[in-house]
A and B are shown apart, each in its own frame.
Chain A
């Protein structure tokens, strides 16, 4: 079984986001969103909460967002983490 160092989930379509996760010390979250000014903080908050609910404390998380609602961001992060296998 090949060990992965990075995984992605989601799409670049409107109302979705593409989440990339990489193994890394500490938590680093980068967000690039079409609604960054209005919802950047909220997306960051949701990302942190989701990582916490999965007991992840060491990860690099990059979200390229096309206006996804919270439930989508949560789901895509969960899928990416599962795919990474941490």
Chain B
């Protein structure tokens, strides 16, 4: 099943047995030079067929840079290009044409949605899609597994030397956590910005590594960062799941001084943060830090002194961007320090609690966050596998049933995060504890929480929905899910139309 040249996944802690060899950091040979345009960069380097170009996704669905480079590739009729954007969003639709005509034949990314995802699901990409985790991408770049020719670094502001950041200028996007491996290890580094400032608020991007600077009319749309759901859910089922999650955390005596916490940006995550905030205030608790992609909810908790520090790898909304700019205890966290398994004492390893989502979960607690239940590519691990392994307590929140789809299944289509990393699954009809966690089971044996074996939850689900038919996919493998240690944990198949 796994193609030649790739190692199969063994276990989520196998990396402990492995040695880690980083390649040399590549500093700029001279002071950064100002180029007139993206086109000029293609001429100067020069950018040729088959090169690997990388990007960060800090503008999320407001990103403009990747499309600018795609346009240039198209104009120049370059072929077999490899792209390594840390995530791909609906805004990146222009890339589909280049995939179809084989100008782009290879993609490395951590999260993918929109038309590009659909196109790859349908088998248009010539070579394999490689999906890394956030920590795994850092590992791949640091070891040379993913060798980058040119890193395009979108920055909201830069100075003449090539220092840059994502906080100054009219289109800020926050800390540029994901681009650091690219900044240090890519052969050529280009800062692209729409604003030059003499004195930046901070030199997040160090000019010592920057070869070129380009000014464009607009680098990205700050408003595109927010992915729609920044409000707390009103859905009573989601609210129940969120409330029960916090009740569980409380029952495990984890709401205490010094606690650390991370969750995502979805509406259920925001509800969990809301109820956690209420509990922490009621119990007069101050946590040590909250981390991850930072949202307004976490900033709000931080401003209520519920956390001493925020460790931020990306901003999910403008409140987070502003907080990063203004609060000295709101820190930038680069991707390697965040989640690279080979980075000693990475931030994720200091987490007490992480609350994550899922598209599907199986009876062994394996989680799929990469494909839909019909095999379509529609997401990706991001920091899921990283934080699930590293955090002391990993909670998955999910509906048991939604619009007839059961979320707990006997077998899931794709494994993104192995069950050994998952401790608890909270659904609206009950909570399942991984049998490996006898300590949690013991702690909660007299609790009033509705704790059930995962098989019972599964049976409840199918008693409501009936058993779904197994959906067929084509035989061709279109992508690999690369676990954070570089091994391949699962594959992505081409969908049947």
Contact = CB atoms under 8 A, between A and B. Distances in A.
Q: Do chains A and B touch in the complex (CB under 8 A)?
A: yes
A34 to B, nearest CB: 6
A59 B373 CA distance: 33
A70 B374 contact: no
B403 A39 contact: no
B75 interface: no
B405 A67 contact: yes
Interface in B419-472: 464-466, 468-469, 471
Contacts of A68: 404
Interface string A35-70: 101111110000000000000000000000011111
Interface string B366-385: 00000001100000000000
B405 A38 contact: yes
Nearest to B466: A42
B494 to A, nearest CB: 15
Interface string B13-33: 000000000000000000000
Given A35-B403, A67-B405, 8 more contacts: A14-B403, A37-B374, A38-B405, A38-B471, A39-B404, A39-B466, A69-B465, A70-B466
Nearest to A33: B404
Interface string A1-38: 00000000000001100000000000000000011011
Contacts of B471: 37-38
A66 B404 CA distance: 9
A67 to B, nearest CB: 3
18 contacts: A14-B403, A15-B403, A15-B404, A35-B403, A35-B405, A37-B374, A38-B373, A38-B374, A38-B468, A38-B471, A39-B404, A39-B468, A40-B469, A42-B466, A42-B469, A66-B403, A67-B402, A67-B405
Contacts of A37: 374, 469, 471
Interface string B400-426: 001111000000000000000000000
Determine which residue in B373, B404, B465, B466 has the highest number of CB atoms from chain A within 10 A of its CB, and name it. B404
Contacts of A69: 404, 464-465
Nearest to B464: A69
A40 B403 CA distance: 14
A68 B402 CA distance: 10
Interface in B466-493: 466, 468-469, 471
A67 B469 contact: no
Q: Which 3 A-B pairs have the closest CB atoms?
A: A67-B403, A38-B468, A67-B404
Nearest to A46: B466
A70 B373 CA distance: 20
A38 B469 contact: yes
Contacts of B374: 37-38
Indicate the member of A37, A69, A70 with the most B CB atoms within 10 Å. Answer: A37
Contacts of A39: 404, 465-466, 468-469
Q: Which of A14, A38, A40, A66 has the most CB of B within 10 A?
A: A38
B466 A34 contact: no
Nearest to B406: A38
A34 B405 CA distance: 10
Nearest to A14: B403
A67 B404 CA distance: 5
Contacts of B465: 39, 69
A28 B102 CA distance: 45
A42 B466 CA distance: 8
